[in-house]
Amino acid sequence: MWLLYEFLAFRLNHGFQGQFRTGLDFLLKGFMVRMNVPPVLSVVSFGIICAAVVMYRMRRTARQQIRAVYFGLMVLESVFYAACLGVAVNWMTVPFLNATLRHTNEYNVTEFVIGLGSGVYEELVFRLLFISIIALSLRRFVRNSRLLVYAIAVLVSSLTFALFHYLTVFTDSFRASLFAFRFGAGVVFSALFLLRGYGIAAYTHSLYNVFLLFR
């Protein structure tokens, strides 16, 4: 998913830098440019980190054979979760959010690319990094309740996720209903991350974004 996003974003922007990228990726590459670091370095670094994590996991699970079919099953599972989320959102937008989340039926390549990248980068930062760091920090103070630790981590991560969309790099104006939806979506993706892992959460998020284009 990440490789597909980077390839399409590179073609769309005619390079590793440009405005047609997901918000976190745009901010990251912009920061690296201000630090006089070539944007391509962030792509290479991310790829190396992913490869290192995969190799580490393969060593730890040496007794368990990794098969290509597992990745196919992950995609199918993510498609199921994304479809369920799409149905739930479609049901909620009319009575509760006054249809503010309804998408136009116009197909947009830019939105397709950004949708793919959002799942990869937002789940990486707000779920994998934020929840892990917050949980590790809280364990020093809350040692008797693992559930409380992760509940706080999920709430903080989801709140940050919802607020992130109102940075100046985005054009969204604040609406309480939309903020509540994004907070709720953050909780759902956080639960999915904790129960099924980063891969499933990222694929589900990306596929859900893509499904929105065809509503």
Q: Which residues contact 129 (CB under 8 A, 6 or more apart)?
A: none
Using DSSP's 3-state secondary structure scheme, residue 104 falls into coil
The structure's pTM equals 0.81
| Of the candidates 11, 211, 193, the residue with the CA atom closest to the CA atom of residue 3 | 11
Distance of CA 125 to the CA centre of its chain: 8
Which helix (DSSP H) or strand (DSSP E) does residue 194 occupy?
helix 176-196
The tokens describing 147, both together, are 């559930």
- Confidence at residue 63, expressed as pLDDT on a 0 to 100 scale: 58
pLDDT value at 32 more than 80: no
- Confidence at residue 34, expressed as pLDDT on a 0 to 100 scale: 79
Instruction: Kindly report, residue by residue over 168-193, the tens digit of the pLDDT.
Output: 556 667 788 888 888 999 999 999 99
Per-position b or e across 163-193, b if 16+ CB within 10 A of its CB: ebebeeeeeeeeeeebbebbbebbbbbbebb
